[in-house]
A and B are shown apart, each in its own frame.
Chain A
Amino acid sequence: DGGITQSPKYLFRKEGQNVTLSCEQNLNHDAMYWYRQDPGQGLRLIYYSQIVNDFQKGDIAEGYSVSREKKESFPLTVTSAQKNPTAFYLCASSLGLAGGQETQYFGPGTRLLVL
C-alpha cells in the first residue's frame, strides 16, 4: 500500500535529550514537510524539502533539525534547544510540482511528550 508512515506513535523525551522522529513515504513524492500541532491550533510548518539534499526552514524551525538523504525519508530531530517540544508532529508529502493541484498527504503523526 502506498502511503506515509511515521514512527513512533508516542515518544517521550527527557530534559536535555535529542530525539528523532521518523517519516517515510513510498508515494514517489519529491516534496516532504514537517508540521507541529498544538491543542486548539492549526498546523505550523517546521521544515520542508522539495528535493533530496535540500530543505528550507518554515515558520518555527528553531530547536529542530532535518535531513533529506533519500527521497523516501525525511527525519526530524527535536534538539535540546527546543524548550517546549510537547506537541503532535505531522509529516506530509506532495508531488512537488509548481502550480496546479498539489495535494499534501499526511502520515498518522507522532505525539511527543516531555518527562
Chain B
Amino acid sequence: AQKITQTQPGMFVQEKEAVTLDCTYDTSDPSYGLFWYKQPSSGEMIFLIYQGSYDQQNATEGRYSLNFQKARKSANLVISASQLGDSAMYFCAMRPNTGNQFYFGTGTSLTVIP
C-alpha cells in the first residue's frame, strides 16, 4: 500500500526565515518520484519540486529544496527566506514508477508572519 503522511496541519514562520515542512511516505516500490505542490487560496495546485528515488543529490528549485532521506522514507520541503506570498497549503505526493497513480498527503497550512 502507498501512503503519504504530513503530520503538521499548520505551521507559522517569520518572514525571511527558513521553514521545513515534513513528509514521510510508505511504498514497497523500489523506484518512485516524490513531489511537492503549493495550493494558494485560489485553489490551483502549483508544482514546486521533484525528487527521484534514485537521485543522489537533493533537489533544489530556487528557494525550495527537498531534504530526501531514503532510509527514513522522508522527503521534507525546505523553504528558505520565506515571503508573505508563500502562505498557502503545501502537499507532498508520491508516484511509484510502476503505475500512473499519484498519492497525496493531507497537506500543511503555512502562514508567513510579517
Contact = CB atoms under 8 A, between A and B. Distances in A.
Interface residues of B, number: 26
Contact of A50 (B33, B46, B52, B100): B100
17 contacts: A35-B104, A41-B106, A41-B107, A42-B105, A90-B43, A92-B45, A94-B100, A96-B100, A98-B97, A98-B100, A99-B31, A100-B97, A101-B33, A101-B52, A102-B97, A106-B45, A106-B46
A48 B47 contact: no
Contacts of A90: 43, 45
Interface residues of A, number: 29
A110 to B, nearest CB: 9
A108 B104 contact: no
Interface string A43-66: 101001010000000100000000
B102 interface: yes
Interface of A: 31, 33, 35, 40-43, 45, 48, 50, 58, 88, 90, 92, 94, 96, 98-109, 111
Contacts of A102: 33, 95, 97, 100
A54 B33 CA distance: 24
